[in-house]
Amino acid sequence: MTDTTAQARRPLGVGVAGMGWMGRVHTMAYTRVLHHFPDLPVAPRLVAVADEVPGRAEEAAAQFGFTTPTDDWREIAANPEVDVVSIAAPNFLHREIGVAMARAGKHIWIEKPVGLTSEDARAVADAVAAAGVQGAVGFNYRNAPAVEHAKQLVDSGELGTITHARFRFFSDYAAHPDGALTWRYERARGGSGVLGDLAAHTVDLAYHVLGEFESLVADTAIFIPQRPRASGATAGHVRATGGETGPVENEDYVGALARSAAGARVVVEASRVAVGDQNAYGFEVHGTRGSVAWDFRRLNELQVGLGDVHQDQPMSTVYVGPAHGEFAAFQPGAANAMGTDDLKVIEAARFLRSVAEGTPYGTTLADAVRSATLLDAMAESAAKRAWVSL
């Protein structure tokens, strides 16, 4: 970076709607982004933060330096100093906030699944297009350098013709029966359960690595049908004991078999009640000449098997380094670890570059619509107990 670059940067006022865990992650990404991407032509400036939980916005302002805390996200939409908005509120608010921010001329970086249904995601996408603003979606796992290398192996044909693959996201955050009955478990506010929460990432990554899908068949299940109601505001996944219980209205588990447009068979699974698994996210892709596998818990490693041996073909570990994806923006040499928050910094950089140049970089609302459409198809298939065409 030169002094001229720093002086020429255009300031961008930032607003954050929803200051739970993900809102904090977005905020920290804005504060770090120029350290890792010093050639960005814009400079984010924290302006407004909104959260309906009393005191939460004020705490964020004191910690991060927002100048205008509020309990009403509409004040962000009306604030002329705000140019870009991160939307990290609960799912049932995604559509209302996303459409309002776009109509107010704000560029938006919104967390998945972008509403409760594909109709919600499409409404936000249409509002972004009509307003001529940029819209990015929080599919951060795409940004892992190991994932980007795996996609290159698939796209280049080094694995041969892809025959079958498995994408899964298992977690235990809802495995305890005393896990509080928050908005995540309600149809009206959370929409789908593990479909929108974890499978949204899974199907996006499957599309990102393998391409379009032609059809699928799916099954879902609720394994913990009753949970105790939370007694107050919650953040993350908390427990509640001894209180009134209520019904879990959306699924704990989904499993699907899909056919890709290129003919591969793909298994997609997600569970929020997988005892013994914490953020077990990853994939295995098999082709006629090789295979590749990635586990998020070993973020910077890729298992690769290439060659013409076919039978008893060995696998080797590739430690990603500066030649892979955006790794060089964070570490100088292979096998130096990157972390989860770094993936959001990459996402922030691509979003801000999109705003600066008027050209999409990274994920867009079209990706959110595609993911939501696949999730709707899984829900439809599970209800009909039949294959669904896409």
Per-residue pLDDT tens digits of the chain, which is 390 residues long = 455 456 679 999 999 999 999 999 999 999 999 999 999 999 999 999 999 999 999 999 999 999 999 999 999 999 999 999 999 999 999 999 999 999 999 999 999 999 999 999 999 999 999 999 999 999 999 999 999 999 999 999 999 999 999 999 999 999 999 999 988 899 888 889 999 999 999 999 999 999 999 999 999 999 999 999 877 555 557 787 767 899 999 999 999 999 999 999 999 999 999 999 999 999 999 999 999 999 999 999 999 999 888 899 999 999 999 999 999 999 999 999 999 999 999 999 999 999 999 999 999 999 999 999 999 999 999 999 999 999
Q: Which residue has the tokens 């002094």?
A: 3
12 within 8 A of 84, measured Cβ to Cβ: yes
Q: Which helix (H) or strand (E) holds 247?
A: strand 245-247
> Token pair of 188, please?
């009206």
- Please list, in sequence order, all residues whose beta carbon lies within 8 angstroms of the beta carbon of residue 65, skipping any fewer than 6 positions away: 46
Question: CATH topology for 3-140?
Answer: Rossmann fold (3.40.50)
Residue 89: predicted pLDDT: 95
Residue 298: predicted pLDDT: 96
Please state the domain extents for the chain: 3-140, 142-331+364-389
- Residue 105: count of CB within 10 angstroms of its CB: 13
286 within 8 A of 153, measured Cβ to Cβ: no
Residue 243: predicted pLDDT: 73
How far lies 230's CA from each of 18, 53, 233, 271, 378, in Å? 19, 14, 8, 22, 30
∠ CA 102-103-105, rounded to 5°: 65
> What is the C-alpha separation between 327 and 145, in angstroms, rounded?
6
- Please list, in sequence order, all residues whose beta carbon lies within 8 angstroms of the beta carbon of residue 388, skipping any fewer than 6 positions away: 215, 216, 217, 218, 377, 378, 380, 381
- Please list, in sequence order, all residues whose beta carbon lies within 8 angstroms of the beta carbon of residue 179, skipping any fewer than 6 positions away: 173, 224, 227, 237, 238, 239, 240
Q: Which residue has the tokens 């290439």?
A: 306
- Record the pTM: 0.92
> Token pair of 110, please?
């919104």
* Domain 142-331+364-389 superfamily per CATH: Dihydrodipicolinate Reductase; domain 2 (3.30.360.10)
* DSSP H helix total and E strand total for the chain: 12, 17
131 within 8 A of 103, measured Cβ to Cβ: yes
